[in-house]
Chain A
């Protein structure tokens, strides 16, 4: 099992550009999450999904969009990138339904200049 994989590892965007951060898990987990982590801070939830076709906003959803067309994939879309979106982005998955352990990917470091 690869667990949770994220691509790319690093990316530099110019202000106003768009990109998609990819996340895939091979554990057949129902629940998936996107977090951002600013320097020296904890993680903040951007969006989450409890199954294919179901997504909902977390604490900091503005400027982002997600989709969940399959159980395995949960891409995060940034439209019109802004410097405030410079952060490290982590995707996580969980079996859900009684299991609270979230498995995290290695992260994507994004810089917007």
Chain B
């Protein structure tokens, strides 16, 4: 709701820790999921994606896990760095033409 959006969930970690950011998605028919990173004052930047027929995908220092049973998505960041500080959004593709539905986001704060 509106009150949740105004106060973004925040995850605070120390540099070098592993971070896990969670997302609940809404539509069991969504076939594709994406994680975006948004730094202050900038547009979102693609991190990693996963298709609904997969349950895990790894990238460079990032892993996305998909649990369709409970409609849950997570982003794991290994050895978190101060440059990882940003707001992270999950997005689901609910229909054709890549019409994405975005979550409200989680703020990641990394302390040196």
Contact = CB atoms under 8 A, between A and B. Distances in A.
A100 B93 contact: yes
Q: Describe A's contact surface by its main secondary structure.
A: strand
Contact of A107 (B43, B45, B101): B43
A47 to B, nearest CB: 10
Query: Most chain-A Cβ atoms within 10 A of its Cβ — which of B46, B97, B104, B105?
Result: B97
Contacts of A90: 43-44
Contacts of A2: none
Q: How large is the interface on A (under 10, 10 to 19, 20 to 34, 35 or more residues)?
A: 20 to 34
Contact of A106 (B34, B42, B105): B42
A96 B98 contact: yes
Contacts of B45: 104
A112 interface: no
Interface stretch (B3-11, B13-21, B58-66, B72-80): B3-11
Contact of A44 (B42, B93, B102): B102
A50 B44 CA distance: 20
A94 interface: yes
Q: How large is the interface on B (under 10, 10 to 19, 20 to 34, 35 or more residues)?
A: 20 to 34
Given A100-B32, A105-B43, A106-B42, A42 B97 contact: no
A21 to B, nearest CB: 13
A107 B41 CA distance: 8
Contacts of A42: 5, 89, 91, 102-105
Contact of B104 (A40, A45, A50, A102): A40
Nearest to B6: A40
Contacts of A96: 97-98
15 contacts: A31-B97, A40-B6, A40-B105, A43-B91, A43-B102, A45-B99, A45-B100, A58-B99, A90-B43, A90-B44, A96-B98, A100-B93, A107-B41, A107-B42, A107-B43
